[in-house]
Amino acid sequence: MKSSLVSQVPGLAARGQIGLRGDAFAHKANPVPDYSPILSIFTAAFELAACAWCMRAGGRRPILNNVALTLLLLAGYQLIEVAVCHAPHDPFWARLAFADVVWLPPLGLVLLHRLAVPTRAVWGWLVRLSLAGAAFLSVWVFADPRFVTGTVCKTVIAIYLHPTNALEAYGAFYHLGLWSMIIAGIQLARTATSAVDRAHAADFAMGTVAFVVLALTTATVFPDSREATPSVMCHYAIVLAVFMVRIARREHRSGTNIAANPQKA
């Protein structure tokens, strides 16, 4: 089985970098079609267009800038995955992909922190720990030569090869961050001081729940896709991007209304 995978990823065998994880999905009697970048390109185009609009929209700049940065982060992964699958033998792009998406939970918690008024001390600590964890993992991804050793790309997804348990530790941090986003979002949807901020928090929580549930459902219904979970989750994150656009549009309308009726602010 291992030699079969080596033949699918030219150049890795000579380096002795092939990991055992990822083999089961990559090696099938009936291979799936070759990789196509169309889904990544379409998703990135939507997210970049939404990001550009957010930068020009009216409303509270800290909220809109956070939404724009999150959309840019999501689009960044899509474009990096295209590069990953263009050069699957080069682990640099795979490492860059992981260094990119690890910042999604911290950015989400920063947004919720800005919606939490009055701010509790626990919010600040949670945000700082999340930022520190993402920074540490971003360095680790590049410092550990065995964190990701190669990629197998099929249809519209990428399977990252990792011969150690480093990716499991990364995944634990990432999923803990996602669940923190969901729980904090639900809480703020009930307790935020303004109706606009409660709606923002509700949209953020729903968007996060939606793409996480879709990814977990895919892994359950199609067990062979579990090795591609990072790629699958990032594609489903377009659902979160749609909810982020809803937040930005609501913020824009709210800012426009306040500008037109300052006495109601």
- Domain layout of the chain by residue ranges: 2-254
Kindly report, residue by residue over 113-132, the tens digit of the pLDDT: 999 876 677 888 999 999 99
Is 2-254 a CATH 1.20.1070 domain?
yes
Q: What pLDDT is stored for residue 137 in this prediction?
A: 96
pTM value surpassing 0.85: no
What angle is formed at CA 183 by the lines to CA 168 and CA 94, rounded to 5 degrees?
A: 30
pLDDT score, position 257: 56
Residue 258 confidence (pLDDT) = 54
Tell me what the mean pLDDT of segment 80-90 comes to.
93
Q: Tens digits of per-residue pLDDT, 169-218?
A: 999 999 999 999 999 999 999 999 999 999 999 999 999 999 999 999 99
Beta-carbon neighbour count of residue 143 at 10 Å? 9
Rounded distance, CA 10 to CA 5, Å?
9
Structure tokens that stand for 178 in this block: 């996602």
Query: What is residue 261's predicted lDDT score, i.e. its pLDDT?
Result: 56
